[in-house]
Amino acid sequence: MTPIVSIFKNPPDGGRGFHRDMRVRWALEEVGQPYQLRLLAFSDMRRPEYRALHPFGQMPTYEDGDLVLFESGAIVHHIAHTYPGLLPLDPNARSRAVMWMFAALNTIEPCMSSGNADYLSVRLAQLSTRLGNADWLDGDFGAADLLMVTVLRALHGADILERFPNLQRYVERGEARPAFRRALAPSTTIMQTA
């Protein structure tokens, strides 16, 4: 089966990839898994048939046969465990990668929406120190970097990211990946709403 990912028909960001469905599309592109896009309007997200897929009526959803998932982090986690390429084979390295996936979504992302610039600055400084001069968080690029880059991308144009040049370069490295570029301008099959 070809997975189906729901996305906005008319994304509020103008298609610049700042919505959470980008994480899912990027992960699928990284592992080379074909997928289809289901384009939805905001009104479609309130329909009972969509709420059956996502009880909170948000984006994205992921459908693969009889498996339906919501929450971008859970979907990326599933993709990373289902297809080779986003998680290391070594058990300890794999556990550290999952740890960084959670850190991106549970430590860094909430700081960005908290409205507390000082708190965010502290967390970014800690992340910057940990990253140092490395290209990626823990070895080769993987699911943890994919999630962290998509979280940090929300700071584009904000002065705070410019204070941490290594984090800015980290985001740029992620955005330069061919799979990211393909996900940003997908050439996958488009499905209209049912």
> DSSP class of residue 32?
T
Identity of residue 192 = Q
Residue-wise pLDDT for 84-137, tens only, equals: 999 999 999 999 999 999 999 999 999 988 888 899 999 999 999 999 999 999
- Encode the chain (194 residues) as per-residue pLDDT tens digits: 899 999 988 888 777 888 899 999 999 999 999 999 999 999 999 999 999 999 999 999 999 999 999 999 999 999 999 999 999 999 999 999 999 999 999 999 999 888 888 999 999 999 999 999 999 999 999 999 999 999 999 998 888 999 999 999 999 999 999 999 999 986 555 655 44
| Cα–Cα separations (whole angstroms), residue 81 to 78, 88, 94, 138, 158 | 5, 10, 10, 17, 34
The pLDDT score that the predictor gives to residue 187 is 59
Sign of CA dihedral 14, 147, 32, 7: negative
| Cα–Cα separations (whole angstroms), residue 11 to 37, 53, 106, 118, 170 | 13, 20, 25, 30, 25
Q: What are residue 69's DSSP bridge partners?
A: 62
